Structure 1
Amino acid sequence: MEQLRGTTIICVRRDNQTAIGGDGQVSLGNTVIKSNAKKIRKLYNDKVVVGFAGATADAFTLFEKLEDKLNEYAGNLTRASVELAKEWRTDKVLRRLEAMLIAADKESIYLISGNGDVLSPDEDVCAIGSGGNYALSAAKALIGFTQLDAESIVRESLKIAAQICIYTNDSITVETLGE
């Protein structure tokens, strides 16, 4: 699966908390256009958190589509994610969208792509974007060797990714569900 350049999004679930965070950098080629963009949203009456990597306009379209699916399926994130991925892959206009999503609620984390992927990670951590693997590695280490809560792990992982990935900065936005 191709990692999209230009951002870092990470989601961690630990104990009774789910946190998803992203950096704020928007790059056009090798130029930083904006440093404090918000790439994380709460949907469906603040019961689902979603982050995106990729083209901004495409991601906003996908946020709207996912919210429509959540409303259609009474907040069932699994069903909404599968239906979004099916529509994204088969619709002639949507299949041209260049983005990836991580969507989570209190029970589930999904990586959703335009290839029809709806992937649930084996562990309670998932990351996308150019700095995703750096943040993922940091989060796994923090989960294994600290007692930090999900939000703190997300923040620290993004800070580490920002030190390594040139497409990631330390202007961090985090949204949480649960305690």
Structure 2
Amino acid sequence: MSQNDFPGWHGTTIIGVRKGGHVVIAGDGQVSLGQTVIKGSARKVRRLRPGGHEVVAGFAGSTADAFTLLERLEAKLESTPGQLQRACVELAKDWRTDKYLQKLEAMLIVTDGAELYVVTGAGDVLEPEHDVTAIGSGGNYALAAARALIDSDLSAEDVARKAMAIAADICVYTNGNLTVETISK
């Protein structure tokens, strides 16, 4: 079987919602290989504490690649304490220019409770316009649902949970087994 014939790891949905002084990152727990669910309870949202500063990160893509990126992000945060944007930009620069890191296939949503970013291997550090962002195979479904709910009376966590439930109903690579982390600044 060649690399192109390999069915590949699919799926996940991660959403970030900023509302009412809180930021929530939620992620589903499904890991799929081709059309087979390998695991339904993976934790794709993590709380990091580099140098005593708390950051929440969610990842989509290859797990090993994502953990490599999370380790690099922690190192960047330790060298630039309290400067999430700078750490993310430095990570994105390394990711884009380092021959080893260029091969990593993952994306991150990160927040310190005030700032909210998507970091990609294309060198992007994106801040959402509407206080909602999402990545992964069900990301567009979750994003659309959250954008529709963001102006309601729901809390950030409730918006994230409802949006993830909608994504799980639509995307076969997303389940309803959520990890939800909230952080405030």
Gaps of 5+ in 2: 1-8
Distance 1:46 1:151, change over 3 A: farther
Pick from 98, 112, 120 the counterpart of residue 119 of structure 2. Answer: 112
Letter in 2 for 1:171: N
With the length of structure 2 as denominator, give the TM-score of the two structures.
0.91
Letter in 2 for 1:100: M
What secondary structure sits across from 2:117 in the alignment? Answer: strand
Letter in 2 for 1:152: D
Q: CA deviation at 1:178?
A: 2.0
Conserved in 2, the CA contact under 8 Å of 1:25 and 1:36?
A: yes
Conserved in 1, the CA contact under 8 Å of 2:10 and 2:34?
A: no
Kindly report which structure 2 residues correspond to 1:13-32, keeping only aligned pairs within 5 A, or say none: 13-32=18-37
Runs of 4 or more consecutive aligned structure 1 residues displaced over 4 Å after TM superposition: none
Pick from 86, 89, 94 the counterpart of residue 87 of structure 1. Answer: 94
Pick from 173, 177, 184 the counterpart of residue 178 of structure 1. Answer: 184
Letter in 2 for 1:54: G
Letter in 2 for 1:7: T
Choose 1 or 2 for highest CA Rg: 2
Query: In the aligned structure 1, how far is the partner of 2:105 from the partner of 2:172?
Result: 20
With the length of structure 1 as denominator, give the TM-score of the two structures.
0.94
Q: Which residue of 2 aligns with 1:158?
A: 164
What secondary structure sits across from 1:160 in the alignment? Answer: helix
Query: In the aligned structure 2, how far is the partner of 1:130 from the partner of 1:52?
Result: 12
Q: CA deviation at 1:46?
A: 6.1
Gaps of 5+ in 1: none
% identical aligned pairs = 59
The answer as to 2:47 corresponding to 1:39 is no
Letter in 2 for 1:22: G
Count the aligned residue pairs: 175
Query: In the aligned structure 1, how far is the partner of 2:82 from the partner of 2:30?
Result: 30
Query: In the aligned structure 2, how far is the partner of 1:105 from the partner of 1:54?
Result: 22
Q: Which residue of 1 aligns with 2:5?
A: none
